[in-house]
Every structure is written in structure tokens, then in C-alpha cells.
A and B are shown apart, each in its own frame.
Chain A
Amino acid sequence: MMLSLAILALLSVAAPWVCRYAGPARGVVLAAFPLGIGAWFASKIPAVADGGAIVETFAWLPELGLEMTFRLDGLGLLFALLVTLIGAGVLLYAGSYMQGHHQIGRFFSYLIGFMTSMLGLVLADNLVLLFIFWELTSITSYLLIGFNHDKKESRSGALQALMVTGLGGLAMLAGLVVLAFAAGDLAGVPGGVWNMSELPEGLSGHAHYPWIVALVLAGCLTKSAQFPFHFWLPSAMAAPSPVSAYLHSSTMVKAGVYLIARLHPNLATGTAEGLWEGLLIGFGATTMFVGAYLATRQTLYKRLLAYSTVSSLGVMVMLIGMGHPDAAAAYILAHAMFKGCLFLVAGIVDHEAGEKDVAEIGKLFQAMPATGLAALLAGISMAGVPLAPLAGFVAKEKMIKAGLDAGPLTALLTALIIAAGSFTVFIAIMTGFKPFFGKAQREPKKHAHEAPWPMLAAPVILAVLGIVYALVPALFATPVVTAAGEAIKGGPFEAALRLDAFYYYEISLALGLSLLATLIGVGIYFGRGLWVKATSPFAKLDGVVGPAKMYDYAMLGLTKGSWAQTRVLQNGSLQVYIKMTLVAILGMFAWAIWRTGSLPSVGTNFERTGLLEWVLIISIAVSAIVATRLGSRLATVAVLGVIGYAVAVVFALYGGPDAAMTQFAVETLIVVIFVLVVYHLPRFAVYSGLAVRVMDLLLAATFGGVMACLVLAAGSQELFAPISAYFNEAAMPETPDGQSAYGRNLVNIILVDFRSVDTLGELVVLGIAAIGVYTLMKLRDDHEGVPVAEREGDEDQSEEGDA
């Protein structure tokens, strides 16, 4: 498992080079890797079929008890297969689809990066690990949605997706932490239980249970685009079609569903009235209905599919909440096939016929027969046409039966399911039938022709697999769905995928309702003009107070709020910044003194103050006073340099040659940089009145006095035992255990060995500061007239970072 992740991660890094050297064969080369990994996962079906699991562990941060635990069970396997096998098909497809794009290498790098994150997400057993992969999928999704970053809709769609899923992710992080500690309470582990497979029974009785449910679901429901957070998914359709097919239909959007299913055995209360189940059923059923309804008003191919995906995600959440793991797993598998196929078909229609609007096009079957057949099969599957031997019907029958078996909610849920089902039939006709067999409003923009084989492979295979799923369930559908259902249910379980469907001779209520939904769907298709007119008042309402609008308002408020606080706190006056900093620090001291009720004792050991020290002290003091009285900035800088050098001499006197050397060098360079900056500035001018100047003097004197006392206090007491003895021992070549750092200069050894991770971090900060200065100065060329003074602060800070 870990090896598969490592291979994919390396492939993601290597993708640009593969693209450069493999040329048109790039899709085949890249797809071979996930295909192989998928085959490996498929070979593990027997191993996890009866509730077994494969576990791999790697000590990550043993000091903190963190382990990288990966666990492959039935649920993980279902998703791992989707991620790798559909991923392979999508890579193959994208190899042709993205042909000629100038950033094709980057595209594959992102796409495989996503694949790695998603695979890690469904294999991770550790909650921290899960969260990291979870966020990685959000970030790679952001990069992929915004891939055509020269388009505004791509950028805003990407940001919207990141904001919604990112905020949900933060809530989820809190929820997972609460979950881990609550589980620790129950299991008697003070550090919390961090592996999901080790979560104890009875979490629903814990005092923090409502928080866990609310916070974890906030993450899952945003990620899986549940109403009212659904609006980011249609906006994400700005991504290239392979991305939509892969991330926003088959895999990433199901991450929320995955985690819900994963935690279901631990968080479920066992009754439909429980908090967990109630929320899942409520959100799921609403989303199912609203998503399908909103889809009926769309005419753009991918947006239709996006809204119908929202609806499908609602179905999955609802089915888990209702306690039908087999129905949920069967639907997840079936949905990945038909919806993945249709998204890829939408990409082909766009690519080969130049058309995005299904209301306009039709009769493409002659031009692209294979695509048309795949779309037709996927469409029939999606519609769940009764008695059609396709995956969608199997799943849909299970769904309707679940609705009819919902206790007190039966009437409501069945009605919603049938309504959503009718809409889905309509969407299926619009996406699977209309473009290829329906009436064309006009000729396609491009001369339509069949797609090349790499683009056809995935949709055709997915469509055919839909038949295999239904006709020969034992081949792959039943084992996978059973294993996944077991994991969701948390106990032994047998999936009945025997396809009562195909051999369905008895007339039942479920079949009748399914027929009814199909008829209504066909009815809407023929009366779609009327339908759009009848529903437009609701659409207007959605435009005014809908969730997407609310998001816009929130973003606007955020921007305005930031502007307001920036105007107050970052008003550009260096004087105000310094005053704020000093007052804040003084305030903290005052608070600390008030809290402890005592002043720290100040040491008064001045015995070592000889002539040289007095010379230094006086020259520093005199320079400081002179610096405030000078009229020329250049002279001020020079005098400040004198202070710096004098401090360096103090370091040298008191046994800090390293610090002294560094101080000399830094001081010299600071003077150089100051001179370069000061060059632009006019001579000092006094704008402040006398009162302000007196206040400034008081503030400066107070702060200086307090700092002096603090230094004296710190020097006169020892709060912690110094660790220099340990450093000395560990650094020396004579250390007997061979763990020596082989050096005598402790300062440098601390920098490059003992605390080298810190140094590395500081180096990165320095690098960022350099890029910042560079960018600011280069931007200046575009905006002449921006006063240099506004930027002075930045260089100052980075220099202090050096010292």
C-alpha cells in the first residue's frame, strides 16, 4: 500500500518529463502505473472479502505516538479500485484530450498528485493522516479546477471550491480531535485513540458526541457537496472534462461519503431518530431532491451532470443514514461507472464537436457511434430504466426498497426518491440520448467526428462494465459491494446483488414506482419548455437568497471587513506601527505583573564593569541620543551603525565571537541597505506637535527602562537548568558512544546539527523574504509613484530575521 502511494507520488513529480519525452504516448505510459496498482488492489479482493484487512504501519513521530497506519478493508478497497482504475482510464483519456496544451506536464502532475492524495485518503487509518490527505485532495482539486487560470470562471470556481471544502475541513479537523480524545476517554487511553480501526464502542453515549457529529459532518457534507453547500460543485465544472469526470464525479466528491461510511459503525446510534442518522437522512434526502431538481433547469452538458452528481451524493449519504450499506455501496459503484462515463462523453462532445449545450445539439450518433452507444448505455443505467440489465437499475431498486422500508418516514422519503428519480430520468435522457439521437436545433460548431481510441477506451469500458455489473454480479460487483457493506455496517453481511433486477418477474410496488418515475421523466423531457417556464419563479428566488448568493455576500463581507481592519491596523504609518508594538508589549508586562502580583527582582551585579565597558556604554548612549537629533537620514543611519558596532564589541568582550562576527557583518549590510532605501527619501521633517513628541519620549523612555530591567532580571535568575553542558558533551569528538557531532564550535553545531531543522526553516523564510523584496521592487516598475517608505518595513523585518 505504502509502496503504491510512493510510486504515484514519484510519478506525479516525474509527469512533466514523461509528457515531454513520451509525446502522444504519454497517456498510455502514465495510465500503466495506476492500472498496475489497481490490478494489485483487485487481487486483494479475496483477502478482505470476509471482513479481513491488510494493515501497514510506519513509525512517523514515535515521540508523539504518531504512526502512519494504512489499512485496506472492504470500504477502502472499493474506493481504491475506483481511484486507480478510473484514474487509469482518465489518464489515458486526458493524454489525448489535453493534446497540445502548453502546460500539459503540469496538468498530469496535478492529476496524479490528486490520485495519490485520494488513494492515501481512503487507505489511511490514522485520523491525522486522513486529514492531511483530505486537505491534499482539496488543494489538488483547487489547482485542477483553476487549471485554465486565464479564465475568470476557472479562478472563481477554484476559489469557491477551496473555500467551502477548506472551511468544512477545518471544522472536521476539530471534530476529529474531539473524536480521538472522546474515544480515548472511553478506551482509557489519555492520549486519545487516533486509529479509526481502534475506535471503541459507545461513542454515541459520550458527552461530546453532538460536537463530534456536527463538526465531522461539517467537513463531510461540504466535501460531498450536500445542500446547502452544493453550489461549489457546478462552479467546479470550469475544470477540464477529465478532471470533472475523475474528481467531481467518481472520486473526490465521494470523500465525504467515504468518511461518513467509515465512521458510521462508530457514530451511528442504531435508530433512525438518532442525531447521526437523522442528520444524514435529512441532508441526504434534501440534497437528492434539490440537486436533481436544479439539474432539470440546466442545458449545459457538464452542469446538468454536476447537479445530478449533487443529487447522487445525496442519495449515498441518505442510504448510509437509513442503514442500507449494501444499497449505498452498490450505488457508489454504479454511479462511478455511469456518471464517469457521461462526463467523459461530455468532454468528447466538447472536444470533437465543439458543443457544450445539450439543448442545441442532436443527431451526433452518425458522426460518433461508439461515443453515442456508450452514452446511451450509461444514460439508461443512470435512469435506472426498469428491467434494463444495467448497474443503475440494480442500485435504484435497492434505493426504492430502502425508501419503502423507512418506518415513519416511508411516505416522505419514497415521494422524494420517486421525484428525484423522475428528474434523474429526465437528466439521463438529456445527457445520454438527446445529443446523439434527439432533434438538432442546428449544425454542430465543429465538423463532428469520432474521438481517438484513448478517449473512447474509458467511457466504453465503463459503459460495458455497467452491463457486466448487472448480468454477472459475482464477477466483481458482489464481492466488492459485500466487502464494502461489511465495513460500513461494522459486522458480517451478505450483499444481495443477485439482481432480482434482471430476473424480476414478479410485479412489486418498487418496480411499479420505478416505472412511474421513468414515465414522469419521459414526460418532463417532452414538455421541457413548459417545465422550465413553470419553475422559473423558484429560480428567481434562488438567485436572490440561494446558497450561492449567500456565499457571495459572505465573501464580499470578508473582503470589506479585511479592508476595514487593514485601514485601521495597517495604515502605512511606521510611527503608528512602532507605537502599537511597544504599547502591546508594555501591556503584556503590566498584565503579567498584575497576574503574579510581584515585580521580578532585578540583579545589581555591576562588578565587572571596567573602563572599556564604560566607554562602550557611553558611546552607545551618546550615539542613541545623537541619532534622534540629526536632520539627515544618511547621518542617522551612520550613527545607528556605530551603535551596532558597539554592541558587536560587547559580544566579543563577553565570549560571543560568533555573535560578534555576525553582528559586524549584519550591521554593515544593514547600513548598505538603509542607504539604498534612504536615497529616495526627503530630509526629516517634523509633522508632530509638541504634545505628541512628549508622549513619544515618555513611551520610548518607559519601554527602554522596562527592557533594561527585564534584561537585568533575566540575568540574575536561572529559571531552567542550562543545557550547555549537554551540548558540550554531545558535540565533542571524545564522546564515547559514537553519537558525537565532531566539533568544538557549539554555536555553529547548534545551527547545523542539533537544531538544523530550525535553521532549515529559517532559510526558507529568508528565501521567501528575498522573493518578496524582489517582487515588490519589480512590481514597482508597473506602478511608478508608490512611495518607497511603504515598503521599508519589509526589508527591515527580514534583516532582523537574519540577525
Chain B
Amino acid sequence: MNSLVLQTASRFLLPLLLLLSVVILLRGHNTPGGGFVGGLLAASAFALQAMAFDVESARRMLRVNLLAMVGLGLTLALVSGFFSLAAGGPLLKGLWFEVPVLGFDDPIKIGTPVLFDIGVYLTVLGVVLTMIFTLQEVVE
């Protein structure tokens, strides 16, 4: 596809969508969102890029091999479960830590479910893009 409108829009939309996807990923614990939706959003951002330009450019922008990203996501999700195992609990039980951060009054809560959710995000992103990119490469 060679549409000037789409290409221009994609240039602006890609960073915004990616930013939004990360926000949705991180806020998911308390408000609607999470790794799954975040991953889908990020995937649609790159899918837009691939449609406006071509798969090659989207892959370049991504920098990471897609199946490797799936592997990384799965590994992160699994590893997040080992923390509780090491602490004597059951696998994948959420552990939370309060980390004081300079400039904030309240300490920031960081937990292993965040790591798990990042794993979900990466896996979903990798899987969906693998499907879209391989299909689209056939079209191209």
C-alpha cells in the first residue's frame, strides 16, 4: 500500500500508540488495562506501520526477532514465578516490595506480577506480529 495519508498518520500514531500501550500495561493492576490489551495495542501500532510502509520497515523498527520476543516474554513470565518459590511460597504467588523513589512522597510498589504482565505483553506482541507479518510478507 502506498498512501501518503496513512504513512504520515503512522509516523505520528506509532509512538503515541506505543506510549499508550505501555501506560495501559502499567496501570492495569488498578484500572482497566494490563499486559494483554497493552500487547495487542502495541501490535496494532506495528501492524499499522507494516501496512503504511512495508513489513521490512516495521521489522527494522522493532529491532528484535519476533519469535525471540515470544521466548523472552514466556521466560519473563515464568521467571516471575520463581521469586515466590525461592521465598518458600507456591509458584507464581505475587510478591510485592515497596521501593522509596526520590521525589515521590509515597514509596512505589513493585511486584512480581508486574514482571509477569510484561511477559504477557511481550508474548502477545510477538505472537500477533508473527502472524500478521508472515501473512503480509506472503502478500508482498
B71 in contact with A767 (CB, 8 Å): yes
State whether the Cβ of B22 lies closer than 8 Å to any Cβ in chain A. no
A743 in contact with B36 (CB, 8 Å): no
Residues of A within 8 A of B58 (CB): none
Residues of B within 8 A of A747 (CB): 32, 34
B120 in contact with A752 (CB, 8 Å): yes
**Interface positions of A from 649 to 706, Cβ below 8 Å from B:** 657-658, 661-662, 665-666, 668-669, 672-673, 676-677, 679-680
State whether the Cβ of B31 lies closer than 8 Å to any Cβ in chain A. yes
**Interface positions of A from 723 to 767, Cβ below 8 Å from B:** 741-745, 747-749, 751-753, 756-757, 759-760, 763-764, 766-767
Interface centre among A759, A763, A802 (most CB of B within 10 A): A763
CA distance A82 to B66 in the complex (A): 46
A658 in contact with B73 (CB, 8 Å): no
Residues of A within 8 A of B77 (CB): 756, 759-760, 763
Name the residue on B nearest A738 (C-beta): B96
Name the residue on B nearest A665 (C-beta): B40
Instruction: Encode contact with A along B127-140: 1 for CB under 8 Å, 0 otherwise.
Output: 11011101111110
Minimum CB–CB distance from B87 to chain A (whole Å) comes to 13
State whether the Cβ of A774 lies closer than 8 Å to any Cβ in chain B. yes
B117 in contact with A752 (CB, 8 Å): yes
Minimum CB–CB distance from A802 to chain B (whole Å) comes to 7
Total number of A residues with any Cβ neighbor in B under 8 Å: 46
- Residues of B in contact with A, size category: 35 or more
B interface: dominant SS = helix
CA distance A766 to B74 in the complex (A): 10
CA distance A84 to B109 in the complex (A): 48
Residues of B within 8 A of A668 (CB): 44
Q: A748-B34, A753-B94 are in contact. Are A773 and B130 (CB under 8 A)?
A: yes
Residues of A within 8 A of B30 (CB): 743-745
Q: A744-B30, A745-B28, A769-B127 are in contact. Are A665 and B132 (CB under 8 A)?
A: no
Residues of A within 8 A of B81 (CB): 756, 760
B29 in contact with A742 (CB, 8 Å): yes
Question: Which single member of B43, B109, B119, B124 contacts A742 (CB below 8 Å)?
Answer: B109
A666 in contact with B74 (CB, 8 Å): no
Residues of B within 8 A of A771 (CB): 67, 70, 130
A interface: dominant SS = helix
**Interface positions of B from 35 to 62, Cβ below 8 Å from A:** 35-37, 40-41, 43-44, 47, 51
State whether the Cβ of A187 lies closer than 8 Å to any Cβ in chain B. no
Minimum CB–CB distance from B77 to chain A (whole Å) comes to 6
Q: A662-B36, A756-B92 are in contact. Are A741 and B31 (CB under 8 A)?
A: no
A764 in contact with B33 (CB, 8 Å): no
CA distance A759 to B118 in the complex (A): 13
State whether the Cβ of A595 lies closer than 8 Å to any Cβ in chain B. no
CA distance A777 to B133 in the complex (A): 10
Q: A665-B41, A752-B116, A763-B123 are in contact. Are A676 and B28 (CB under 8 A)?
A: no
State whether the Cβ of B18 lies closer than 8 Å to any Cβ in chain A. no
Question: Which single member of B40, B73, B78 contacts A669 (CB below 8 Å)?
Answer: B40
B139 in contact with A679 (CB, 8 Å): yes
Residues of B within 8 A of A760 (CB): 74, 77-78, 81, 92
Question: What would 6 more interface pairs be, CB under 8 Å, given A743-B29, A802-B128?
Answer: A668-B44, A673-B135, A745-B28, A749-B113, A752-B113, A774-B134
- 28 A/B residue pairs, CB under 8 Å, sorted by A: A658-B34, A661-B37, A672-B51, A676-B136, A680-B138, A680-B139, A741-B113, A744-B30, A748-B29, A749-B29, A749-B113, A751-B35, A753-B93, A753-B116, A756-B77, A756-B113, A757-B92, A759-B120, A760-B74, A763-B73, A763-B77, A766-B123, A770-B66, A770-B67, A773-B135, A774-B130, A774-B134, A798-B131
